[in-house]
Structure 1
Amino acid sequence: MAKNKPDEKLTPEIILTESKPFLSLENFGSQCLIIFIIAIIFYGNTLLNGFALDDGLVWTDNKFVKNGFGGIIDILFHDSFYGTIGNNYNLAGGRWRPLSLITFAIENQLWGQTPWISHLINLLLYMVTGFVLLKLIRNYLLPAKPLMAYASVILFIIHPVHTEAITNIKSRDEILSLLFLLITVLISLDVANEKRKASAILVAGLSFFIALLSKENGLMFLFIIPVTLYFFSKLTLKKIAIQSLPYFFLVAVYIYLRVSIVGFSNEKVSELMDNPFLLATTSQTFATIFFVFLLYFKLLFFPHPLTYDYSYNQIPYHELNDLRVIVSVVIHIALIVFCLFHLKNKSVFAYCILFYFASIFIVSNIVFNIGAPMAERFLYQPSIVFCLALVVIVERVFNLFKLTSSLQKNISIGCLLIISIPAGWKTITRNEVWRTGPRLGMTDVLSSTNSARANTYAAANYISLIDTCKNETRIKTYLEKAIKYCTISEKIYPKFYTNLMLWGFAYSRLDSLDRAVFVWKQAQSLQPNSSYVNNNLKSISDKYFNLGLGEGAKKNFNQSIYFIRKAISIDETNTEYWYNLGGAYFTINNIDSAEISFANALKLNPNHKQAKQGLDAVRMRKNLK
């Protein structure tokens, strides 16, 4: 009887029955316990965190979620952002991710807005994801190699790039999606390898549909599931296709429901903040996407620095002749070629490559605009196979040097301990940055220095601090910092309305009214119907007008004219401004200017009695001359 080759996969049956004592590192229960402890050590401090960033969009400001059980129906039948911003979202295809919002609604009903409970649930879901992933890798991806399976899951659990997905309450959609997708794959493999009855596909289908209700990532598992069955079962291609059919049916149902509820629009988004490649040529778009792929690799190997924002212009547009773009293209082509050459022998590396490409493809901006060039949470799913491949590479190196199994075990444990120290420090300190929205914004702007959005949000965070601050000196400092970041943002993207709105507010609070008017005028040109800007401009124009009236009452008519003209420079359509300006000019005997002012008032309101009288008085005085 021929011996198994080193690369040949052993049958899963040999590890389904646990034979190792509980205290052994190879015991599944023991491994789960350690994963549980590590997850608490790395993410326990998130329980001290509050709400931050997009949590308002999906919870604290979402009227459906805040309605608790009563809002669940509305959550199911509306876009996920509708409860907060109505139809004012600006992303292709809408967002229908009801599952995470339903969990928030349930929490709100039971405990109100209690962030530590939400963070605890995210942490527990992360742990369970680790347990399911461990079972999947032990049973099928690396059968008969429990320590390698364990090492790959530990690397996944401690990877700092996951901090956004775990620490940001809003990112529960990522956690739920991956958890139920892994359950789907595990059950599918059990059925394919005859460890469960065929009827278990119903459970797998339910899990898959739940994953789709969490986030769109599950769509790519129409590819990943049959690929996984090909690599880790003995099914023929025909049987793989048959077993995969239910998932295609469920995707069809999901798409029908999604389109029926939120519709579908793939129109070009005209706002740069929601379409990062709006100003890029086609070649620049693809060059930049490949550069982003390289950045993803970099973050997998070296997750520093981390930031919540990579929007325009944190990642500048690149050209195809950029050396870094060329390197990225070469790397990815090499991976594809390697995968094609090793498909037939079912190399675990080929599987990792296919899984990674499928996972990253849906968030790559290649097919549709996702609203940002990249995000760290998008590595949550593909990082699984990165950790798996890394462990297998280390094992191959050990075998190359013919190390004993005992020495391999000791070195592996030592390496994991060494990696855990910087990974733990990075994760724990990063969790602290996510403690509050202002802390996150004011910290990450130091990393995302070229991002218009990060600078604007930093300004917003400093402005938010003045609401509870009683110290005038400190308030002034906060406002000056806000102006600094707004100025930077304006240089990056002059037409960013939100930035101009905040910039004007900061100037107005410092009584730099002329500068506030200048900035808000720019904002008004972008959104003429903005009630916020228009109301603020009216407030300042009225202030100037009242100052003018006050100076007039003091017989300081030149000062009165100065202030009323400022009011008119803001609002040229106000009849009273023109009428009173005419009166001031008339008083100092500037008859021509008075005539123009009264005439302008009458153009705006032909029935203005006092303006008519003023114009008659001007003409009478002219006739006397």
Structure 2
Amino acid sequence: MKQKVIFWIIAISLLGAGLYFHTYDYEYTGDDGIYAYFNRVTQKGLSEWTELFKYGSMNFITINPVNTSIYRPFTLLTFAVEYQIFGEFNASNGHVINVVLYFFLLLIVGKLLVDLCSKKELPIFVPLLILALYAVHPLHTEVVASVKSRDTLLASLFAFSAILIWFKSENRLTLGKQILIGFLFFLSLLSKEETITLMAVVAFIAYFFQNKKVLDSLKEVIPFFIPVVIYMICRAFVLDSAATVYDSKINSILYGLSGGERLATNLYIYLQYLKLLVFPHPLSWDYSFSHFDVQSFQNPLVWVSLILFGALFYLVYKGFKSRSLFSFGILFYLATFSIFANLTQSLTIGSNLGERFLFIPSLAFSFLLVYGLYRLLLNFQVKQQAMVAILVLLPVMLAFSWKTVDRAKVWKDAIALSSSGVKTAPTSWRTHVMYAEELRLKGAEIKKTSVDSAKPYYEEAVKQYDRMYQILGKDAPVSQYLAPFAEALLGVGDTARAKVVLNESLKKLPNNYFSKFKLAAISYEEGEYEKAKSLYLESLNAEKPDLHPAYKNLGLTYMRLNDNANAIKYFELALAEKEEPELRRNLAYLYTEEGDLDKAASYKSEDDEYSVEETAFLLTMRAGNDAFEAKNFALAVSEYGKIESEIEEFGGAEKYPSYYPAYGKALIETRDTLAAKTKFLIAYQLDPTNSVVSTNLGTIAFLKDKNYADAEKYFRAAVEAGHEDQFSALTNLGTALIVQRKEEEAIEVFEEALKYGSSKSVLSNLFLLNKAIGNEERMKYYQEQLQNSSSQ
């Protein structure tokens, strides 16, 4: 019989873990980085592993390290071991480890449940169904699918292993086993401190299952209490003091609340936790402000929660003396949930609600549901209780399993996770800003190879930043996101607004490096080199400056200011930070300019294909391109003009195909139409399929030269080249045909344009054209279309 039970425990554990097998190739998401690739100790393997036990676990992250908050050295040690074994961090390894840990945790929990239920002579289907329901619960997806949540899995595995050994050693608890239990529970706490509440569960098990008296039940906690004391002493010794209450509503809706409002809001959130246990949908990785509002007792749901929890406390009281297992299950839930319940101001945590907080309490829920069903079947004297219980719970477990598999998919990568939060918690400020951050980072990565492909990511990021600030209000206390917001604005070409945001960032964070650096870069692109120099120099004295790009850009700025000495100084400083061929090329050019040919030769690489002259050409070309992208067209014209006589020497338009189109566009913007036409004609001869060039030539021919035949020719070329705005391209062509009195052709072109869009001018032209050729039926049709358009 025992072998059969073990078989079922293993099978259920495999089922529960199997729901997450598809996560093996998922990426890192959420806070995974603080334990892995953003952690300065774990990414060195075991070379500095003792440091993990000397400081708080947030002290090692590369972004805003602090020696406060949490102390979970054993979890970090496992990441260091992982790196030591594999030589690098790979998210797949982390996901596989989590699935394996979940499997072993289910094995331990299953064995404990069987032993507990056996003590009460409950049929074997009861603990197995409890285990099955717990194994497939969708609320576990955050813990199992997030690599960072290895801490919860380790803590739970060690804690329940200790409890299992303790329970099986009833009245035979030798000193050796007490030490083993204490050691395992200590490892649990070193993994994550939330299992501290399981001390209370040990006392409840002793009272309800071992029938010990209250005082004797409390004594059973001693092997667990001693490691707790040791852990708390270590924690107090290692961690610096920090505020225990979150000082902003963006971290906790309970901030600033007291009395009735605090109680009502807590009761409302407690009810949401129970709802997710019963009906886990929708699920979100975050429930920050303003997903929940401050509540009062005017909300009927607050009263529902109060009555419900009052009933639970009554059931505990009523069944305590008789050692009712309903009382045990409720106490199990309340005890393990208490650490996340925001019971007092000093115990307020930085989250309104978290699915991961129910990882252990959901075991109590599973216990109560299955045991309650068993007692119901018993009361109604149902035969074949196991079969009926399975049939009743099977739809629930199938639904939970499907939800678990589906929910785990959002942890595939950072974009998938953050975007899911926007959908499931659309009023949470944090879901929007995290989605914006991931989009911004993705855009920055794509921009390295394709500026156009990156733009949609930046555009969506801007929308998400705007939504975040809309939720938080004008004076949102999240100034750290202003600089990234500005970067996204620059990505969509909104330089004017980016400057406003960056200056706002500096008002709130005067020593912010990124804001000063970006304002300097904007000034450089706009040709304000003195201002750029000043800001770059300020950025070097800002908090945590990124020296390499600051030195490099200072060098480029001084080159524009013809200050070769300082340009050399900062290029050499940049080169000391990071080897880069472009820096050596610039230094070779500058030393040649200064007449120091030996020094120039020391920087000139034999593999470098660029001469000093070509380096100067490339620098000017880039300055022109930068000015063009920044829409500083006067500066772009100036820079492009400097190299016009040299472009053929260094590869011509074949090597630099965007040169003449950009030069022509910049000239158009500075109202030098004649010169612009010259550049566009060169570009057209080189590439007649460039629709932008054709459109500009058509516009010049139509508006400036009044040469409508040429205008038709160029506009038609733009259409045939597949202009990205076919509606505008066809409208231009139709207009050129009208002026030449080619009515039939114009009608055909305008009607083709209507396939891509519509406008009153197009409809009006079609009305007049059909009137001109005497087509009354089509004339009336377009007259009706015009009237409908006007009434909308």
Give the TM-score, by structure 1 length: 0.79
Q: How does 1:326-341 map to 2 (within 5 A)?
A: 326-341=303-318
Q: Which moved more, 1:155-164 or 1:465-474?
A: 465-474
Residue deviations 1:215-239, cap 9 Å, x none? 1112223322222211111333343
Q: Does structure 2 retain, via aligned residues, the 8 Å contact 1:47–1:120?
A: yes
In structure 2, the residue matched to 1:113 is: 89
Larger CA deviation: 515-524 vs 51-60: 515-524
Q: Out of 491, 494, 501, which is 1:512 matched to?
A: 494
Conserved? CA contact 1:39–1:127, under 8 Å: yes
| Deviation by residue 1:573-609 (Cα, 9 ceiling, x = unmatched) | xxxxxxxxxxxxxxxxxxxxxxxxxxxxxxxxxxxxx
The match for 1:190 among 140, 164, 168 is 168
Amino acid at match of 2:128: Y
1:32 Cα deviation (Å)? 2.3
- Over aligned residues, Cα RMSD in angstroms? 2.3
Q: 2:531, 2:222 → 1: CA distance?
A: 78
Note the alpha carbon deviations across 1:228-270, whole angstroms, 9 max, x for none: 2111113333433333233322222111110111133335444
Which amino acid in structure 1 is aligned with residue 394 of structure 2?
L
Contact 1:520 1:537 in 2 (8 A): yes
Aligned to 1:360: 337
Q: 1:363 Cα deviation (Å)?
A: 1.2
- Give how far 1:201 is off: 1.9
What amino acid does structure 1 have at the position aligned with 2:269? V
Residues 176 and 211, structure 1, Cα contact 8 Å, conserved in 2:
yes
Where does residue 387 of structure 1 map in the other structure? 366
- Structure 1 residues 267 and 41, CA gap change in structure 2 (3 angstroms): closer
Tell me: CA distance 1:546–1:262, structure 2 relative to 1, closer, same or farther (3 Å): same
Deviations 1:166-188 (A, max 9, x none): 00011111111112221222222
Shift of the 280–313 alpha-carbon distance from structure 1 to 2, 3 Å rule, reads farther
Look up the SS of the partner of 1:278 in the other structure: coil
Structure 1, 419-428 or 441-450: larger mean CA deviation? 419-428
CA–CA distance in structure 2, aligned partners of residues 256 and 240 of structure 1: 25
8 Å contact 1:49–1:435 — kept in the other structure? yes
More off after superposition, 295-304 vs 126-135? 126-135
Structure 1 residues 196-219: Cα deviation after superposition (integer angstroms, max 9, x where no partner):
546422211111111111111122
1:445–1:351 CA distance, 2 compared to 1 (3 A) = same
Q: Is the 8 A contact 1:142 1:148 kept in 2?
A: no
Report the counterpart of residue 378 of structure 2 in structure 1: 399
Match in the other structure for 1:104: 79
Distance 1:283 1:549, change over 3 A: closer
Q: Which residue of 1 aligns with 2:18?
A: 41
1:146 aligns with 2:124: yes
Deviating runs (4+, > 6 A) in structure 1?
Answer: 547-550
Q: Structure 2 matches for 1:223-372, cutoff 5 A?
A: 223-266=200-243, 268-278=245-255, 280-367=257-344, 368-372=347-351
Aligned counterparts of 1:224 and 1:356: Cα–Cα separation in 2: 9
Deviation at 1:422, TM superposition (A): 2.1
In the alignment, what sits opposite 1:437? 414
Matches within 5 A, 1:65-84: 65-84=42-61
Q: Which has the higher contact order (CA 8 A, sep 6+)?
A: 1
Rounded to whole Å, the distance in 1 between the matches of 2:75 and 2:268 is 32
Structure 1 residue 280: Cα displacement: 4.2
Query: Structure 2: how far apart are the matches of 1:138 and 1:383?
Result: 17
Q: What is the CA distance between 1:460 and its match in structure 2? A: 1.1
* Structure of higher CA gyration radius: 2
Question: Which residue number corresponds to residue 553 of structure 1?
Answer: none
Secondary structure at 2:322 match in 1: coil
Q: Structure 1 249/156 Cα, relative in aligned 2: closer, same or farther at 3 Å?
A: same
Match of 1:55 among 32, 57, 63: 32
Letter in 2 for 1:476: K
1:176 partner SS: helix
> Could you tell me how far 1:549 is from its partner in structure 2?
10
Are the aligned partners of 2:56 and 2:66 in contact in 1 as well (CA < 8 Å)? no
Structure 2 runs not aligned, ≥5 long: 533-792
User: How far is the alpha carbon of 1:290 from its aligned partner?
Assistant: 1.6
Q: Partners in 2 of 1:170 and 1:438 — Cα distance?
A: 17
The AA in structure 2 aligned to 1:506 is A
Cα shift readout 1:97-150 (whole Å, capped 9, x = no counterpart): 111111111001101212222111111111111111111111114544211100
State the partner residue of 2:138.
160
CA contact (8 A) 1:456 1:498 kept: no
Partner AA of 1:286 in structure 2: L
In 2, the alpha carbon distance for the partners of 1:105 and 1:549 equals 46
- Contact 1:68–1:109 (CA<8 Å) still a contact in 2? yes
CA displacement at 1:467 relative to structure 2: 3.3
SS in 1 for 2:297: coil
Q: How many residues align?
A: 522
Matched-pair contact (CA < 8 Å) for 2:117–2:124: no
Q: CA deviation at 1:547?
A: 8.5
Instruction: Tell me which moved more, 138-147 or 541-550.
Output: 541-550
Q: Aligned-pair distance for 1:31?
A: 1.0
- In 2, the alpha carbon distance for the partners of 1:396 and 1:383 equals 20
Indicate conservation of the 8 Å contact 2:246/2:350, yes or no.
no
Give the conservation status (yes or no) of the 8 Å contact 1:476–1:510: yes
Q: Distance in 2 between matches of 1:492 and 1:392?
A: 44
Would the alpha carbon gap of residues 476 and 33 (structure 1) be closer, same or farther in structure 2, given more than 3 Å must change?
Answer: same
Secondary structure, aligned partner of 2:287: coil
CA drift of 1:88 comes to 4.4
What is the TM-score with the length of structure 2 in the denominator?
0.63
CA 281–322 in structure 1, closer or farther in 2 if over 3 Å, else same? same
SS of residue matched to 2:221: helix
Equivalent residue, structure 2, for 1:580: none
Q: Which residue of 2 aligns with 1:378?
A: 357
